[in-house]
Amino acid sequence: MRSTRSIEILCLALAALVLVWSRALMAQPWPVLALLGAFTAALAAFRARRFFPGRTRTRLLIESWSMVIFITGVLWFTGKIGSPLLNLYLLPIILSALTLGRLVTLTQVGVIAVCHALLATAQLGPEVFSLTYASQAVGQLAPFLLVAYLTSTLSADITEAREQIETLAQTDPLTGLMNQRAFTEVWQREHARCERDRGTYSLLMIDLDKLKEINDEFGHEAGNDAIRLVAQCLQRSIRSTDAAARFGGDEFAVLLPDASPDVAEVVVKRMRHNVFKTTLDLRSRMIRCSISIGAVNFPRDGRDARDLMSGAERNMYRDKELRRAPGAARA
């Protein structure tokens, strides 16, 4: 992550800059230079070798705790709790708060408090148990705790907001189903998988019959109720591994992974039945809805995704025409 690299580089740069300007480096240069070199080499090796591929959290944990160890070592040779570099502890805290969550961050603050106590013991001896040290420790550690809490809270809020935005970007607001873009992505992945593994799937295109008549007679809100009813019936008719989407207006699409034409036909009958048996109460009138459905199967009806979609739409319109014919069954 770029933020991780930036924080690590900032940690090294600040440590080097302050040490060059301070007398502490002149008093004991080699231990501090060795720590700087070792930490730089460790970071470079970690980046070059790409340890723990695909396990971002593990990598971030190691890098964050490595920074704590590095900073503690530098403090030991540069004045301990009186070091001008004490506030470098804020960097791993911020890194953990942004990437690892509140629990890990607060745990890290607790470990830093222990390190602070060890540094104080080495510097002050028995005075570490005095009220003077206690007040100094609170003054130095309280900002760490405050930054940890506020940053982790802000990170959680940002993550939640991003998830909500992603959900809204993939969801039809009226029905709660996938929107066309999200469905297309799922369908394309399934199509590629079936091409690679010689699998099969069925694609359904669905249209709500006579939505215009419902809108004209009862209003658009009634039409929206009818659309929501169909969406709920579709959801009840499919498996959790299937995908249903609203394509806009009164059109829907359903993807049935690993479904043969026979399985798709069973699902189609279930959809028709669920929609027809569920009624809308509009101005004290019970209205039954019906749907027209076109089904295609990969690879039986074609191997090109666009041709399959066109075929499903043609079958849907053909079904609609047949259902409009005099004497056609409505369920």
Contacts of 32 (CB under 8 A, 6+ apart): 19, 24, 25, 74, 77, 78
Q: What is the pLDDT of residue 326?
A: 56
Q: Running along the chain, 331 residues long, what does each successive block of 10 average in pLDDT?
A: 73 78 66 84 74 73 90 88 89 90 92 94 88 90 93 88 81 91 93 94 94 89 92 94 91 95 95 91 83 95 93 94 64 50
Residues β-bridged to residue 286: 281
For residue 243, the surrounding DSSP H or E stretch is strand 243-248
Q: Does 299 sit behind a cis peptide bond, omega within 30 degrees of 0 on the bond before it? A: yes
Per-domain residue ranges of the chain: 2-169, 180-324
DSSP state of 301: T
C-alpha angle 251/224/310, rounded to 5°? 5
The CA R_g of the chain, rounded to the nearest whole Å, is 32
Domain 180-324 bears CATH identifier 3.30.70.270:
yes
Question: Nearest-CA neighbor of 60 among 97, 35, 89?
Answer: 97
* pLDDT given for residue 168 in this prediction: 76
pLDDT, position 195:
93
Q: Which helix (H) or strand (E) holds 202?
A: strand 201-208
What pLDDT is attached to residue 273?
A: 94
Q: Are 295 and 264 in contact (CB under 8 A)?
A: yes
What's the whole-model pTM score?
0.61
